[in-house]
Chain A
Amino acid sequence: MEIVKINEPIRVLAAFARGGIQPLRFKWENRSYTIERINGEWLDRADEADAWHFSVQVGTTTYFLHYASRDLQWWLDELINEG
């Protein structure tokens, strides 16, 4: 199993509906990834602004994304490759 820390801003296509956020697709390093499943999500209120975190599945890789409401930016935190 390979864990890679990324911490890079990314572009995400997401649905903001019924008081929730559902990421659908994201673009990273000029490649587009379609999210197959959301494994889990959580809200981090530790900072002044909220951050919505998601663990999403694309094929055999799990990606950890978060949406920072302070700067309205999506971030790719890390990816975990099934080894």
Chain B
Amino acid sequence: MNAHEHLILHLRLDDFHASVEQRLIPALRQRPVVVGKEIVISCSREARQLGVRVGMKTLKVRRRCPAAVVMQGHRDACASLSEAAWACARHYTTALDSHAGDAYGDATGMAYVHGSPLAMGQKLQEEVIACTGLPVTIGLGSNRLLAWMASRQVRAGCIGWIRPYAEARTINGFPLVQLPGLSYRALTTLREMNVERLGELLNFSRDQLRALCGTDGDLLYERCRGLDRHTIDAAQQVESIHRSESLTSPQGELTVLHSHLQGLIEEAMQEVRKATLHAGRCEVALLYDDGKRATRRRCLPVPTAADRRVQDLAEELLAALMTRRVAVRRLSLTIDRLTTASGADDLFGGDEPLSDRGMYHTIDTIRRRYGQEAILTGSRLDMLRPRNGAPGDYP
């Protein structure tokens, strides 16, 4: 391989959350460990051998495998250990895109510094294990898809490299059922036509695949040719922030719904500010008591990090949604089209006055330290007060 050829590296911390638990609690090593509160988010190899899978309900796991130890997990430990692993990987890549227990890095040209891709992978693997004590699998390929396939082809804790001459063979034989992002509907349609592997799609045109699989057609057209246009973006990509609340009793009163919506906005916007982003669009969704749903979304006039601007828009959307005389059971809010807060905003005044920014910073700090309920706005305070309670009778 020439050192200038594209080389993407996929780093996977195997059974990430379960491995962290096994590392922190020696008594869990060699035992079936399951991490998750209601749904399994990670399980150890020993648990998988007993039939546990990610996505299963933990209740079912407890019933089926009484030997499995169900843990809630240590999120902050996971974040810290994964960050330590990514710090090692940054020595071997020019850009790194990480999410939970996976990271993709651009290692193009790094062979000049670290030797062959396999030697580089081995060095990185040893460094990550020494630094975090967690098992890691590495895949190398000419794009994200191939690097991911390479790490999937090999056993946990190994290094896989799909060399350029072996790319077509690997893609052709890759089972569709393992392809990420493919909908169940598209998979079923293709199975009905006895299409099981990626290579069997090469004879289909883009239009034919679109006609068969809808929006998944484009994905399949590119994947069967080994194309993956996702770039490695060093910046963390938060695409949307979602918050929802199931109401204890169905509500039809607009003022009560406003209060709940405000709570969701406060939580979501705190996340937006934490990621130093600005909200670009707001979506409000309702689930009515009769099971019907309604959604409205609209862009904000200017991307913002201020609660009150999002609140104004969200309340407009909620008012527009309240056309039925049916109570609402669930309220959801999605903030998306997030843009980075540029330094120019700070220089030229930006969207919010500086006093607002200071106020939101202080509120966020207090809430992070003492909980979301430490500071409440007036309308939410009214909601928490008992109906027949005297002023000052707050929980």
Contact = CB atoms under 8 A, between A and B. Distances in A.
A1 B22 CA distance: 13
Main secondary structure of the interface of A (DSSP, over half): strand
Interface string A57-70: 10010101000000
B183 interface: no
B368 A1 contact: no
A46 B368 contact: yes
B81 A55 contact: no
B81 to A, nearest CB: 6
B246 interface: no
A29 interface: no
A80 B69 CA distance: 12
B365 interface: yes
A1 B69 contact: yes
Interface in B50-69: 69
Contact of A48 (B80, B81, B368): B368
Given A60-B27, A62-B24, A62-B26, A42 B76 contact: yes
Instruction: Say which size band chain A's interface belongs to.
Output: 10 to 19
A44 B80 contact: yes
A39 interface: yes
Contacts of B23: 39-40
Contacts of A43: 80
Interface in B19-40: 20, 23-28
Contacts of A62: 24-27
Main secondary structure of the interface of B (DSSP, over half): helix
Contacts of B133: 40
A60 B29 CA distance: 13
B387 interface: no
Interface string A9-48: 0000000000000000000000000000001101110111
Interface in B293-322: none
A40 B369 contact: no
B27 A82 contact: yes
B369 to A, nearest CB: 6
A55 B24 contact: yes
Contacts of B69: 1
Interface string B322-361: 0000000000000000000000000000000000000000
A42 B77 contact: yes
A39 B26 contact: yes
17 contacts: A1-B69, A40-B20, A40-B23, A40-B77, A40-B81, A40-B133, A42-B80, A44-B80, A46-B76, A47-B368, A47-B369, A48-B365, A55-B24, A55-B25, A55-B77, A62-B26, A80-B25
Interface of B: 20, 23-28, 69, 74, 76-77, 79-81, 133, 365, 368-369
Interface of A: 1, 39-40, 42-44, 46-48, 53, 55, 57, 60, 62, 64, 80, 82
Q: Which are the 8 A-B pairs with shortest beta-carbon distances?
A: A42-B80, A82-B27, A55-B24, A44-B76, A40-B24, A42-B77, A62-B25, A39-B24
